[in-house]
């Protein structure tokens, strides 16, 4: 039986997003589960953390009101609001740390760091191979090492172009820098028009799913 949708919709968004991130990126979900079952598992855990946070927040709120209100006086509306907001943040931080983040073990962190380092090395090797081979079309697959100068050139020459266009343009300019070829300095350069035509041809030949996204 799936979690009640009304209960799910009332969960703190940070609790939801952090639960999903930790369970999917670190702890893992059952490999035999369907997408709906995995989502249900995430929502059940998020709901559990929400309920624990609510219980802890009540205790922290009462404590804050006692500390912030002078003896014999009634707390003001503003004090009540501040106490509630502070208590919720404190409770949420405590519950996430104790119940969620604690599931990420040092071995998990070390394994992920090793995986990322190996992946970065593979990417770097492929960049180097393509550059040494002087593959003229490597920019089309963005198999070019990112270059901050290329980013600045694209921002200056093609400021108002789409995300997909800029992503290819940055790769093309980075490749030309690697190959010691000239790059345009302003939008009015003839070279800018020539390169723009190349990029538009590539976008037409291989259109992105969403032209506003860089990939």
Four-CA torsion 40, 44, 45, 49, nearest 10 degrees: 150
Residue 128: how many CB atoms within 10 A of its CB?
Answer: 11
Give first-to-last CA distance, the chain, whole Å: 38
Q: Which helix (H) or strand (E) element contains residue 16? A: helix 13-22
- pLDDT tens digit string along 14-49? 999 999 999 999 999 988 889 999 999 999 999 999
Q: What is the pTM of this model?
A: 0.58
pLDDT attached to residue 109:
85
**For residues 109-114, average pLDDT:** 86
Q: Tell me the pLDDT of the chain averaged across its residues.
A: 90
CB-CB contact of 108 with 144 (8 Å): no
Indicate whether 8 pLDDT > 90. Answer: no
The pLDDT confidence band at residue 215, using thresholds 50, 70 and 90, is very low
CB-CB contact of 139 with 189 (8 Å): no
What percentage of residues in the chain have a pLDDT greater than 90? 65
Indicate whether 120 pLDDT > 90. Answer: no
- pLDDT tens digit string along 54-100? 999 999 999 999 999 998 899 999 999 999 999 999 999 999 999 99
- pLDDT tens digit string along 145-179? 889 999 999 999 999 999 999 999 999 999 999 88
All residues at 6 or more sequence positions from 93 whose CB lies less than 8 Å from its CB, including other chains: none
**For residues 133-154, average pLDDT:** 89
């Amino acid at each position: 039986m799936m979690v009640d949708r009304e209960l799910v919709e009332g969960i703190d968004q940070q609790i939801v997003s952090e639960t999903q991130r930790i369970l999917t990126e670190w702890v893992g979900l059952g490999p035999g589960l369907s997408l709906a079952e995995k989502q249900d598992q995430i929502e059940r855990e998020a709901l559990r953390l929400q309920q624990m946070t609510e219980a802890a927040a009540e205790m922290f709120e009462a404590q804050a009101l006692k500390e912030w209100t002078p003896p014999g006086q009634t707390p003001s509306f503003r004090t009540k609001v501040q106490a509630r907001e502070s208590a919720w943040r404190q409770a949420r931080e405590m519950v996430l740390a104790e119940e969620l983040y604690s599931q990420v073990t040092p071995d998990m962190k070390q394994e992920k760091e090793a995986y990322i380092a190996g992946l970065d090395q593979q990417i770097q090797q492929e960049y180097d191979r393509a550059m040494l081979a002087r593959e003229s079309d490597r920019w089309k697959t963005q198999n070019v090492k990112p270059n901050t100068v290329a980013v600045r050139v694209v921002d200056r020459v093609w400021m108002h172009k789409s995300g997909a266009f800029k992503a290819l343009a940055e790769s093309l300019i980075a490749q030309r820098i690697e190959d010691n070829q000239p790059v345009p300095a302003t939008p009015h350069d003839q070279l800018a028009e020539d390169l723009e035509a190349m990029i538009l041809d590539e976008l037409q030949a291989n259109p992105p799913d969403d032209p506003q996204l860089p990939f």
